[in-house]
Structure 1
Amino acid sequence: MPKIVDHDQYRKELLIKCFDLFAQKGYASITMREIAKGLGVSTGTLYHYFPSKKELFWQLVEEQTRQDNQAIATALENAETLEERIKALFAFHAQHEDYIHKQILVGVDFYQQQDREEVINNETLKQMFEESRQLMTELLGIQDRALINFSLSVLMGLLLVRLFEGDVVPIEEQAELLRKMLTLYLKPQQKQEQT
């Protein structure tokens, strides 16, 4: 009896394993042949699932974003107040900081090899950013898109600073500052809504 293969699941497994290869060698330095070797599959098998290294990368971005968003949602599912949600969000990123730093570095390496307009206009990337914004809107309970963009910028900026400076800027401190800023900003709006 032939072995039954769940092709979508197998493709996802290959993608996740590819991330480690990109993180070790860099997007620019690794070839499809080296990726296939690192995964223990033939180049034919790799090309069957991913027609190019660029397509493999975009599928990786999509898969990681969806998995990361699900993990974040799970981490925040018991947080009830804005303070608890912000603390849980920042704690999640602190716990996975090395992984996120690798994502940043791989993303920058990929970006350097591409035309800026092509990256900015990539539909996969636009969709993943939108899904992440929507998740933050739901998890933080904030409908103001500018505040969501601000919160994501603070978090991503913090992770970038920590990539280059280590723990000079404490995550907990920044989470508390963001909470205070959002609370103060939202207070007048909440009063208006109540009246």
Structure 2
Amino acid sequence: MPKIVDKELYRQELLEKCFDLFAQKGYGSITMRQIAKGLNVSTGTLYHYFPSKQALFEQLVEEKLQRDIYFVTKQWQGIRSLDDKAEILADYLAKNLEDQIKWTYLMVDFAQNQEREGDVDGQRWQETCDRYRWAIYEFIGVENPIIADFVMSLIDGLILEKLLGNLNLDVKAQCMLLAKMVNAYLEKENRMQETGDRTIQFG
């Protein structure tokens, strides 16, 4: 009797193993043949599940996106304090810092490769950013795109600093400072709204 293969589960298993292969060689350098060899499958099998290297990488990014958002927002359920949420975020970044650094390198490599080939899909990556933004709305409890962009920029900056070798950067301290800054912004915004002044100024 032929073995029944759960195609979706098998696709997930292949994706999980692909990350290290991309991280070792970079998006621009690795080929589908090399990926297939690293996965110990035929090139035909790989193309059956992923029509191109770009499609494979984009599905890998989608898996990471879902995993990041699911894990962090699940931890935030029932927690209202920004300080507590920031501590959870800091712990998550610290535990996954090596992979986050690899992802940052891969995303830069992917973007450069797409530019060289003239195949930049800005809409797709905007959608990815928007989904992270919704997770940040849950983090702060307010749909404020200015704060969401600020939070995303700070997190990206922390990871980039670590990638560049800044060993003295304290990720947890930065995340806790982030919570204090966001709290201060929201408190001042609320006061301005109460007085009818929509302009927020610091200092």
Supply the distance in 1 between the matched residues of 2:145 and 2:123 (Cα, whole angstroms). 21
Cα-to-partner distance string for 1:95-142 (whole Å, 9 max, x where unaligned): 11001001011112222211277435242x222221111111113212
Aligned ranges for residues 92-107 of structure 1 at < 5 Å? Answer: 92-107=92-107
| 2:73–2:138 Cα contact (<8 Å) kept | no
Supply the distance in 1 between the matched residues of 2:179 and 2:51 (Cα, whole angstroms). 45
Who is 2:56 aligned against? 56
Who is 1:148 aligned against? 148
**Count, aligned residues:** 194
**What secondary structure, in the 3-state scheme, does the structure 2 residue paired with 1:119 have?**
coil
| 1:90–1:155 Cα contact (<8 Å) kept | no
Letter in 2 for 1:121: G
Change over 3 Å in CA distance of 1:141–1:105 after alignment to 2: same
Aligned ranges for residues 68-87 of structure 1 at < 5 Å? Answer: 68-77=68-77, 79-87=79-87
Gap regions ≥5 residues in structure 1: none
* Normalised TM-score (structure 2): 0.87
Shift of 1:192: 5.8
> Which has a greater percent of helix?
1
Shift of 1:81: 0.6
CA RMSD of aligned residues (A): 2.0
Aligned ranges for residues 4-19 of structure 1 at < 5 Å? Answer: 4-19=4-19
Letter in 2 for 1:112: Q
Matched, 1:20 2:20: yes
**What secondary structure, in the 3-state scheme, does the structure 1 residue paired with 2:166 have?**
helix
* Normalised TM-score (structure 1): 0.90
Supply the distance in 1 between the matched residues of 2:47 and 2:63 (Cα, whole angstroms). 18
**What secondary structure, in the 3-state scheme, does the structure 1 residue paired with 2:120 have?**
helix
Cα-to-partner distance string for 1:144-172 (whole Å, 9 max, x where unaligned): 11101101111111111121133322112
| 1:162–1:168 Cα contact (<8 Å) kept | no
Task: Indicate the percent of aligned positions where both proteins have the same amino acid.
Answer: 42
| 1:86–1:140 Cα contact (<8 Å) kept | no
Letter in 2 for 1:49: Y
